[in-house]
Amino acid sequence: NAGVTQTPKFQVLKTGQSMTLQCAQDMNHNSMYWYRQDPGMGLRLIYYSASEGTTDKGEVPNGYNVSRLNKREFSLRLESAAPSQTSVYFCASRLAGRGNTQYFGPGTRLTVL
Amino acid sequence: AQSVAQPEDQVNVAEGNPLTVKCTYSVSGNPYLFWYVQYPNRGLQFLLKYITGDNLVKGSYGFEAEFNKSQTSFHLKKPSALVSDSALYFCAVRDRGNNNDMRFGAGTRLTVKP
């Protein structure tokens, strides 16, 4: 049981390049989330998918798109990367139900030059 | 929207001493409250949560937290700190009315010195 996995672990992009961050979970969770972590700011929610087939904006969605490919997989796409998107990105998942815990992946460290 | 404040960027304690990491929250309704720990270059690991019931919640690695509704606080505590407890700690809150919008504090770096 791998939990939540993310690829790649590290990525360096030039401004304007695009890329997709991949996330998968094997816990049969309904809901999945993408966060970014910046120093001194904690984690901020970018997008989430409450269930397969649905996606919704979080606190900081600008510059990102997401796809809930199936129940297991939830990808985050940067269409035209900007230096302000340099961050550590975390995927998380949760079983539906009030109060249930979110479980996090190991993160992707992205640098945009 | 809900929010979390962790008033201390850094907490230093000696090994064997008790530790407290502070958290206060703001939410329109009743909260779900969580503590996570992050070790260097790792993801967040769940420590404990308050959902309902007993205000004192016990979690992993000997940590506990007390929900105080009147003070809107959820401080993390441990009776005897270990050097291996040194890490970054995050408090998070979720409004029961919106089960998908979890807000995190900025984090508190705990350093336990031998």
- Note whether B94 and B71 are within 8 A (CB): no
HSE toward the beta carbon, residue B33, CA cutoff 13 A: 33
Decide if A108 contacts A10 (C-beta within 8 A).
Answer: yes
Task: Indicate the pLDDT class of residue A97, thresholds 50, 70 and 90.
Answer: confident
Nearest by CB to A99, from B32, B101, B106: name it: B32
pLDDT tens digits, one per residue of B50-87: 998 899 999 999 999 999 999 999 999 999 999 999 99
Chain A residues inside the 8 Å CB shell of B32: 98-99
Tokens 């970018």, residue located:
A46
- Nearest Cα of chain A lies from the Cα of B39 at a distance, in angstroms, of 11
Q: Do B46 and A48 touch (CB under 8 A)?
A: no
pLDDT score at A45: 95
Q: Residue B96: which of A42, A56, A98 has the nearest Cβ?
A: A98
CA B90 to centroid of chain Cα atoms: 6
Q: Which residues, other chains included, contact A73 with Cβ-Cβ below 8 Å and sequence gap of 6+?
A: A22, A23, A24
Q: What is the mean pLDDT of chain A?
A: 94
CA distance A90 to A97: 21
Regarding beta strands B64-68 and B73-78, do their DSSP bridges make them parallel or antiparallel, or are they unpaired? antiparallel
**Nearest CA to A44 among B84, B27, B16, B4?**
B4
